[in-house]
Structure 1
Amino acid sequence: MSTAPADTTDAPIDALRSALARLTDPEIPVITLEEMGILRDVRRGSDGQPEVVITPTYSGCPAMGQIEDDVRAVLQETHPRGRVITQLAPAWTTDWMSDTAREKLRAYGIAPPRCTTAPPPGVLRFSRQAVTAEAIACPQCGSHNTTETSPFGSTACKALYRCLDCLEPFDYFKPY
Structure 2
Amino acid sequence: MVITRDEAWAVAATVTDPEVPVLTIEDLGVLRAVEVDGDRVVVTLTPTYSGCPAIDTMRDDVVLALTAAGVGDVRVQTTLAPAWTTEWMTDAGKQKLTAYGIAPPHGAPPSGPIRVRLAVKCPRCGSLRTRELSRFGSTACKALYECQDCLEPFDHFKAL
TM value normalised by structure 1: 0.82
**How many residue pairs are counted as aligned between the two chains?**
158
Residue number among 99, 110, 114 corresponding to 2:91 in the alignment = 99
Aligned to 2:117: 133
Residue number among 77, 81, 90 corresponding to 1:85 in the alignment = 77
- What is the correspondence of 1:49-60 to structure 2 with a 5 Å cutoff? 49-60=40-51
CA RMSD of aligned residues (A): 2.0
3-state DSSP of counterpart to 1:136: coil
Aligned 8 A contact 2:109 2:159 in 1:
no
Structure 1 stretches of 4+ with a deviation exceeding 3 A read: none
Cα distance, 1:92–1:40 mapped onto 2, change above 3 Å: same
- What is the correspondence of 1:9-28 to structure 2 with a 5 Å cutoff? 12-28=4-20
Normalized per residue, the structure richer in strand is 2
1:48 CA drift (Å): 6.5
Check if 1:168 corresponds to 2:152. Answer: yes
Could you list the runs of 5+ residues in structure 2 that have no partner in the other structure? none
Using the aligned pairs only, state the percent identity.
50
What is the one-letter code of the residue matched to 1:63?
A
- What is the correspondence of 1:110-149 to structure 2 with a 5 Å cutoff? 110-117=102-109, 130-149=114-133
CA distance in 2, matches of 1:164, 1:104: 23
TM value normalised by structure 2: 0.90
Could you list the per-position Cα deviations for residues 131-172 of structure 1 after superposition, in whole angstroms to 9, with x for gaps in the alignment?
433310000000000000111101111111000111111111
3-state DSSP of counterpart to 2:5: helix
What is the one-letter code of the residue matched to 1:55?
T
CA distance in 1, matches of 2:55, 2:40: 22
Aligned 8 A contact 2:39 2:71 in 1:
no
CA distance in 1, matches of 2:13, 2:82: 21
Q: Which moved more, 1:55-64 or 1:109-118?
A: 109-118
CA distance in 2, matches of 1:131, 1:75: 42
1:20 CA drift (Å): 1.3
What is the one-letter code of the residue matched to 1:130?
I
Aligned to 2:137: 153
Higher RCO structure (Cα 8 Å, ≥6 apart): 2
CA distance in 1, matches of 2:117, 2:14: 36
Could you list the runs of 5+ residues in structure 1 that have no partner in the other structure? 1-9, 120-124
3-state DSSP of counterpart to 2:120: coil
Aligned to 1:5: none
Aligned 8 A contact 2:32 2:46 in 1:
yes
CA distance in 2, matches of 1:117, 1:157: 13
